[in-house]
Chain A
Amino acid sequence: MAVKTYIEALADGLREEMVRDKSVYMLGEDIGQYGGAFKVTKGFLDEFGPERIVDTPLAESAIIGVAIGSAMMGMRPVAEMQFADFVACGFNQLINNAAKMHYRWGAAVPMVVRLPSGGGVRGGPFHSQNPEAWFCHTPGLKVVAPSTPNDAKGLIKAAIRDENPVLYFEHKYLYRRIKEEVPDGDFAIEIGKADIKRPGADVSIITYGSMVHLSLEAAKKLAAEGIDVEVVDLRSLLPYDQQAIAGTVRKTNRAVVVHEATRTCGFAAEVMAFIVEELFTHLDAPVKRVTSIDAPVPYSPPLEDFFMPNADKIAAAVREVAAF
C-alpha cells in the first residue's frame, strides 16, 4: 500500500499486465524513446524492449488498424492516442472494424485504446476534448472513464483482459493532481460497475471522470448548507450501471447528471433518458445536467473556465433541484 498519483497507478497497472501476459504489448506515438507525451510509459522501453513497446508513425488509423489485426491474431495490444482528440483519425477502424468483427464473424478483438482526454489544461480545441459519446453510441465497443488512481489501475487491468475492444478515457487533468492509497499487487475492477464516491440522502449527482472530483467539492459546500449529496461515479459508460442509477434515484428521488463533455447528445442525455423511462415515478423533481456548453474548447483561459463545469455550477444545479 502506497500513495500513488493517477498516472503512477495507471502505469503500474500497465506494467503488471505486461509482466503477467506476454501477449500484451503497447504501441503509440513517442511511447518508447520519449516515454509518452505524458510519461505514462516512461521506462517501459528499457524494461520490455522495442518488440513490446512500439513507437509508431503519426497515424492513428494505422495504430488502431495494427492493433485490431494483431488482436485478431492473438495479441492483446494497448494503443495510445497521444490525445483523445486524435482518435477521430482512427474512427473508421474502431467503428466499422473493431466494433463489428465479433458481430460479423465471431472474431474476438481484445484490444485497448488509451485516450488522454479532457480540458482545464489550456490545451485549446484539439487537445482538450471529451469524445466518449461518439463511442457510447457504438454497440460492440466498451467505454470506461476512471476518476481515481484505484479505478485507473483496476480498470486498465479489466480493459486489457476483456475480449472486446475497450476505450479507456484517462483524464489529463487528473494525472498528477489526484493521489490516494493504492493497494499493491493485482486487482481488477469489473467493467459496468459504478461506485458511490460519497453517500448522501437528498440529491444524487451521477457523473464520471474528472467531474467526480468537482462534484465531491460541490457536495462538501452543499453539506454546509444542509443538502446531503450522493456522488455516484459511473466509471464505465458502455455498458453503464443501470442498477446503481436506479438505486440512487430511488433513494434520493432527485438527480443531477454531470460531465465535462459538451451538452447536446452527451452521455448525460442517455442517463436522463434512462431515469425518465424507468424511474419516472421515483422522481420528486426534474432531472438537471451540468456540462460544458455546446462549443469547441476555447484556448483562452477565462473562456475555457466559462466553458467548463466547475464546483459552483454543479452546486447551483443541485440547489435548484433540491429546492424544487
Chain B
Amino acid sequence: MARVDIIMPQLGESIAEGTVVKWLKKPGDKVGKDESVLEITTDKVDSEIPSPSAGILVEIVAPEGTTVGIGKPLGILETDATAAAGAAKSAPAPEAAKAPEAAKASPDVKTPVTAGDSVLPGAGAPMAAPAPPPEPAVVAHASGGNGGGNGGSDRFYSPLVKRIAREEGIALSELDRLAGTGQGGRVTKDDLLGYMEQRKAGGVAMPQAQPGGMPMMMPGQMPAGMPMMPMMPQFSPMPQFMPMPGMGAQAGPPATPPAYKIAREPGAAETRIPWDNIRKKIAAHMVMSKSTSPHVTSCAEVDVTTIVSFRETYKDVFQQSQGFKLTYTPFFLHAVTKAIQDFPGVNAIVDGETTVIKHAINLGMAVAMDDGGLIVPVLKHAEDKNFVGLARNADDLGRRAKSKKLVPDDISGGTFTITNPGVFGGLWGTPIINQPQVAIFGMGTINKRVAVINNMIAIRDMIYVTLSYDHRVVDGALSHLFLARVKWYLENFNPMGQIPGVI
C-alpha cells in the first residue's frame, strides 16, 4: 500500500505559496499519471497540477480556497488500486469552499499587470482580431494526426476522408467506429459517404457542418509563364473557408471581444461581478504602482508612412519566407530597443532607494486575452535580436499568450513594457507603469493625417507614441529625448539587410 503526496509545486522563482481553486477529482476517483487533479492560483499564474503517479485520490488535504506553501501536501494518492474502495470512504468529502467564481473557468497562465487602460492584443499575433470561431472538435483531432493519426486515434484517414468529416461535422470518435473496406480496414471515401447516407436515412440529426480548418485549396500555382500569346489555363482558386483574422488593422476600431459582453439576467437592475483572484491582483498592483510612482506621460507624433507602405509591400513575401505575419509590432520593438540602447536610463527598476539600470533589454508586451484578461509576456534580450528575430519572438509570445501556453518564465524578468491602446482605436493613452519598472511605452492608432512637409501639405500615416515614466528616477528631458530617438528610428527605418528576401 503506497501513499504518495500531491505537493504544491514551485511555479515561479519568487512564488512562495498558492491557493487551491478547484479540485478536479473527488476522493475515490481514479487518476492517471500526469492527469490534472486540481487547479491552483498564485499571484503570477493559474495552473493545473498533474498527478505524480497513477492511482486513486484518497484524501484532499487542502480544500478549495485554502492557501498552501510550496512543497506542502495538497492531497494524498493511493497507488495500490486494491485499497481504493475502503480508503475512499474514510477520506473527507471535498470542502465546498467558495472559490472565486471566474477562477474556475481559467486554469491557465494569466497574470495581473499594470498596463492600465491600454493593452496590446496579441503582440505578434493578429491584431484586433475578433476571437476565431471555435473549431469543431473533429478538426482538432482529424488534422492533428497526419498519416499516423493522433488525438486519440491511431487509425489512418486519407486527406479526403478527413476533409469530408470536417465539412460534415463528423467527429473523429465517430469515424473511429466506422468499418472500412480499404486496405487494412481503412475508411475510404465510399465508406464514409455510405455511412452518411445511412445516418441520414436513419433520421439521425447530423451535426451542422462548420466552417474553419484548412483552406480547401490555394490559388493555382502556374507553370512558367509564356512570354506572349498566353493560352495557359487559369487554375481558378477555390473559395477559402479559413477565417482570416484582420491583420495589423490599427486603423479602424476593432470588434469588441465577445468576452467583454456582460450577460444580463432578466429583471436584474445590475450585474455584480465579484473579483476573482486575478482581478484582485490587478487592482492591488494598479493602486500600488500609482501610489509608488509619480506618473508623468510624454507624447510624440511619428510619421510612419514608410513603415506602413513597407509592410504593405512586403507582408506577403515576409509571410512566405518567415512563416508568420508581419505586424507593426516588430517595427516598434526594433525602434524602442535601439532607443533604449541610446538612453538606458528608462530600462531600469527601483530597488528601495536605488535605481538599477538593467543591461538586458527585456520587453514586456501587454496582450489582451479574448476572455477579457490581460497578460504581459516578456521578450528577452531584445538587444541581441535583429528585426526578424524580434518579430518571430513577439509572434511566438503573442500566439502562446492567446492560446494560454505561456510558462512562468515567459512572464517574468521584464525591464520595460510596451502597450498598444491603438489597436482598439485609441489615439493614445497614459498607461500605468509595470512595477518595479520605471517606464512604459504606448502606441496609439495609426491614422492618415494632413502633415506639412517641405512647406507642402501631404497626407501621411501618423501615430502618437507615449512614454509614461516614474518621475522619481526619470527626468522629463530623458523621456523626451528617448521618445525623439524612437521617432527618429521609426521614421528612418531602413529595411536593408533586416529581412531576408527584401533588397
A and B co-occur in one complex: yes
> Which residues of A are at the interface with B, using a C-beta cutoff of 8 A?
102-103, 108, 138-140, 142, 162-164, 190-193, 238-244, 246, 253, 274, 277-285, 323-324
Query: Which partner residue on chain B sits nearest A109 by CB separation?
Result: B227
Query: Which partner residue on chain A sits nearest B217 by CB separation?
Result: A278
Find chain A residues with CB under 8 A from B231 CB.
190-192, 239
16 residue pairs bridging A and B, Cβ less than 8 Å apart: A103-B227, A139-B224, A162-B229, A164-B226, A241-B233, A242-B223, A242-B235, A253-B160, A278-B217, A278-B235, A281-B159, A282-B163, A283-B158, A284-B160, A285-B158, A324-B182
Query: Which partner residue on chain A sits nearest B228 by CB separation?
Result: A163
A103 to B232, CA, bound (A): 17
Find chain A residues with CB under 8 A from B217 CB.
246, 278-279, 281
Find chain A residues with CB under 8 A from B216 CB.
281
In the complex, are the beta carbons of B229 and A164 less than 8 A apart?
yes
In the complex, are the beta carbons of A193 and B233 less than 8 A apart?
yes
Find chain A residues with CB under 8 A from B229 CB.
162-164
Q: How many residues of B contact A (CB 8 A)?
A: 31
A174 to B29, CA, bound (A): 76
Interface centre among A190, A244, A246, A284 (most CB of B within 10 A): A284
Query: Which partner residue on chain A sits nearest B186 by CB separation?
Result: A324
Find chain B residues with CB under 8 A from A244 CB.
233
Q: What would 19 more interface pairs be, CB under 8 Å, given A164-B229, A239-B232, A284-B188? A: A102-B228, A103-B227, A108-B228, A163-B229, A192-B233, A239-B233, A242-B223, A242-B235, A243-B233, A243-B235, A244-B233, A246-B220, A278-B217, A278-B221, A281-B159, A282-B159, A283-B159, A284-B161, A284-B189
Given A243-B236, A253-B189, A280-B159, A164-B221 contact (CB < 8 Å): no
Shortest CB-to-CB span from A111 to chain B, Å, is 13
A278 to B223, CA, bound (A): 13
Contact partner of A278 (CB less than 8 A), chosen from B189, B214, B218, is B218
Find chain A residues with CB under 8 A from B221 CB.
274, 277-278
Query: Which partner residue on chain B sits nearest A162 by CB separation?
Result: B229
B234 within 8 Å of A (CB atoms): yes
A280 to B143, CA, bound (A): 13
In the complex, are the beta carbons of B227 and A278 less than 8 A apart?
no
A192 to B303, CA, bound (A): 50
Render B155-175 as a binary contact track against A, CB cut-off 8 A, 1 for contact.
000111111000000000000
B455 within 8 Å of A (CB atoms): no
B239 within 8 Å of A (CB atoms): no
Contact partner of B223 (CB less than 8 A), chosen from A103, A193, A238, A323, is A238
A279 to B223, CA, bound (A): 16
In the complex, are the beta carbons of B220 and A278 less than 8 A apart?
yes
A122 to B236, CA, bound (A): 43
Find chain A residues with CB under 8 A from B224 CB.
138-140, 238-239
B291 within 8 Å of A (CB atoms): no
